[in-house]
Structure 1
Amino acid sequence: MATQSEKIQKLQDEIKSYKETLIKYGDMFNADGVIEEHEQKKLDQMQSIIQKVEKKLVALKEKAEKKSVNNSVNPDIEKGDKGVYKDVTKQKLNQIINVFTKGKGDATDVHWNDVSQGALGDCYFMAAIGAVAKANPAALKKLIKGPDSKGNYEVTMYIDGALFSSRKAKKVTITPEFLVDKNGNPIYAKAGDVEMWVMLLEKAYAILRKEEKYWDLRVSGLDDGYNKLKGGFGEEGIEVLTGKEASTLWIKNLSDEKIKSVITSALKDKRPITTGTIPGPDKGKKADKKQIAAQGLNIVLGHEYFVLAFDGSNITLQNPWNAEVVDGDGRGDITLSFANYKKYYRNICVQDK
């Protein structure tokens, strides 16, 4: 029996084949400069078939994402505090004053270690930010301009188009007001080193996603656009941040050599790359042996990481929670053998060459 990912791939292949055939017949019918009525009817029928298959593909993707999607939330974040929106640059406590500063232990003002996911299931987007920051930090810095005379920022993202399919730059102006808890700490994306570039990217994405109808099934109690960010895959975040196409590869369908080649090539070429873990247990059910084994290695299930390093034998990944207390606790960076990586991770999202 075909898996859901195999069914999705089959439909994608069918759509591609139908479109190629449609173009072929269109060119053939129009060879003399005139398309006859019966020829146009044939083209319309083919277009109708393509639209039906596309609708089926969208429905299947929605079902797959609702069933198993990377949306783990940092458990260290205090729950129960609904928070209030405040201008974080004007707070007396935990003041965040800059859009960029130099990161801890490095000499750059946009660094992957600035990424820290909050109480929102957008690990895929946070991981994508980290991946792009590692591969090309200058690209992220170019997305943000400001502050202007009113203290606002202009953020550019490649999000315009139906189902986010056309990668046109879209700009949004946002204020430095963020949802904070009773202590003045941001509830969603956290500040890096008293800086807010990651927070600005997350807020801009939430605003731009607010009116997107395709994702209405993925909602929470939020009503400010952040609800649309809950759950997804790194591919989406990479494309939105870079304007370049990315792909999701399923590890179980790849040979060891292919997996190693994809990761090594991406790191060498400085292309963003994220990777997601196997899903956790369904609600109300106990974890199975494989899930328990993964948790024993401090791997967060149903979660997206970004790749820091790979030597062919061991892979080092960064959890976008970025809340490590001790090395190897699973809340910061984690190093795994290739065998364990292949066993407990299910997909790779990487920017195309």
Structure 2
Amino acid sequence: MPDLSTKPKKKPDPKDLADPKLRDKHSNDQYGYTSAGTDERNKLFYYGIKPTDVYQGAIADCYFVSALAAVAAEAPDLIKNGIVDNGDNTYKVRFFRKKDYWSSTYESTWVTVDGDLPSRAGSDSPMYAKGQKTRTGGRELWPGIVEKAWAEFKGGYNEMGEGGSTAGALEALSGSRVSYSSTDTTPEDTMWLKLRKATVNDQAMAAGTRGKDEEALYKGTNLYPWHAYTVLGAYEKGSGKNRKRIVKLRNPWGRVEPGQDGKDDGIFELTLEDFMKFYSSVNIANM
């Protein structure tokens, strides 16, 4: 018979760690932190780990969120194993960095944060990166937790939220060397081979549009200049003369895309020709 005298272990009291400083524009009484980690409606992981779990919030870190979604698409276990729930409202998150500038070897760095996430005053909805909604009326926490750890790693939300390096984010999340290719100097056929190889080998990819000095190019396209997108794959569609080379992408906002598929989920396809026209570069993690 089971030992009924054994008492269940008491859950540790939640810890409240110092939080990274919010963006300068949010450093006032209208903004703060909500106790997302202790809200039982929220789950660290709920529907598994997918690129569609990740939504960029009110901060200019598309470079990081698009990279996070890219790694979620190709190596979900890398994300899952890189987040440790300590059971006390704190989480350890793993990033990678080179041992030194010239090194090809990466070492793990663990950053500990609590489950409080940035929000507007009076709201329990995360203001920056947020996860997929759950059937329990909450959200998945892992995107916001990883982003918060990145802010802690970089010195604050202001330091990581005014643009940044997609290659650096991919490197830190994947622990892999990242290759950069410019669409202006890479022939179309060569770019296609790179994209196809990365697709077949399950390598995380992200692409950036051109600068705001070419803003007119994007008018009416539902694409945005100076913005990073997750590349979800490259493949051919059609046959014979109708065969086209296609690049599939996702807007880290989780909405707004070219085309009219009726979903407005941020996922869309472009021909390779249009991809080369609207995007300036691709970063591929050699995972």
Superposition deviation, residue 89 in structure 1: 3.2
Q: Name which of 203, 207, 222 aligns with 1:298.
A: 222
Q: Name which of 259, 263, 269 aligns with 1:335.
A: 269
Superposition deviation, residue 294 in structure 1: 2.2
Q: Which amino acid aligns with 2:90?
A: N
- What is the percent sequence identity of the aligned residues? 26
- Larger strand proportion of the pair: 2
CA distance in 2, matches of 1:293, 1:231: 21
Unaligned runs of 5+ in 2: 1-25, 134-138, 237-244
CA distance in 1, matches of 2:256, 2:182: 28
Residue 265 of structure 1 corresponds to which residue in structure 2? Answer: 197
Residue 172 of structure 1 corresponds to which residue in structure 2? Answer: 111
Residue 251 of structure 1 corresponds to which residue in structure 2? Answer: 183
Farther off after superposition, 227-236 or 114-123: 227-236
Aligned pair count reads 243
Superposition deviation, residue 155 in structure 1: 1.0
CA contact (8 A) 1:161 1:168 kept: yes
CA distance in 2, matches of 1:186, 1:318: 21
Q: Deviations over 1:193-251 (max 9, x none)?
A: 311111111111111111xxxxxxxxxxxxxx111212123211111011111022111
Residue 57 of structure 1 corresponds to which residue in structure 2? Answer: none
Superposition deviation, residue 163 in structure 1: 7.0
Q: Which amino acid aligns with 1:117?
A: Q
Q: Secondary structure in 1 aligned to 2:284?
A: strand
Q: Name which of 119, 122, 125 aligns with 2:64.
A: 125
CA contact (8 A) 1:273 1:307 kept: yes
Superposition deviation, residue 324 in structure 1: 4.5
Q: Secondary structure in 1 aligned to 2:219?
A: helix
Q: Which amino acid aligns with 1:227?
A: N
CA contact (8 A) 1:233 1:304 kept: no
Distance 1:96 1:119, change over 3 A: farther
Distance 1:86 1:161, change over 3 A: farther
Farther off after superposition, 228-237 or 260-269: 228-237
Residue 152 of structure 1 corresponds to which residue in structure 2? Answer: 90
Q: Which amino acid aligns with 2:152?
A: I
Residue 12 of structure 1 corresponds to which residue in structure 2? Answer: none
Superposition deviation, residue 96 in structure 1: 4.7
Distance 1:137 1:295, change over 3 A: farther
Residue 316 of structure 1 corresponds to which residue in structure 2? Answer: 248
Tell me which of the two structures has the higher relative contact order, counting C-alpha pairs closer than 8 angstroms and 6 or more residues apart.
Answer: 2
Distance 1:145 1:237, change over 3 A: same
Distance 1:147 1:195, change over 3 A: farther
Superposition deviation, residue 276 in structure 1: 0.4
Q: Name which of 186, 193, 216 aligns with 2:126.
A: 186
Residue 142, structure 1, aligned to residue 90, structure 2: no
Unaligned runs of 5+ in 1: 1-77, 103-108, 211-224, 282-287
Residue 18 of structure 1 corresponds to which residue in structure 2? Answer: none
Residue 173 of structure 2 corresponds to which residue in structure 1? Answer: 241
Distance 1:253 1:324, change over 3 A: closer
Q: Name which of 135, 141, 159 aligns with 1:228.
A: 159
- Larger helix proportion of the pair: 1
Residue 22 of structure 2 corresponds to which residue in structure 1? Answer: none
**Superposition CA RMSD, Å:** 2.5
Q: Deviations over 1:100-135 (max 9, x none)?
A: 001xxxxxx111100100011110110101111111
Q: Secondary structure in 2 aligned to 1:173?
A: strand
CA contact (8 A) 2:222 2:256 kept: no
Residue 204, structure 1, aligned to residue 149, structure 2: yes
CA distance in 2, matches of 1:114, 1:347: 24
Superposition deviation, residue 347 in structure 1: 0.4
CA distance in 2, matches of 1:164, 1:186: 38
CA contact (8 A) 1:96 1:195 kept: no
Superposition deviation, residue 297 in structure 1: 1.7
CA contact (8 A) 1:135 1:267 kept: no
CA contact (8 A) 2:38 2:89 kept: no
Q: TM-score, normalised by structure 2?
A: 0.77
Residue 101 of structure 1 corresponds to which residue in structure 2? Answer: 46
Q: How does 1:22-37 map to 2 (within 5 A)?
A: none
Q: TM-score, normalised by structure 1?
A: 0.63
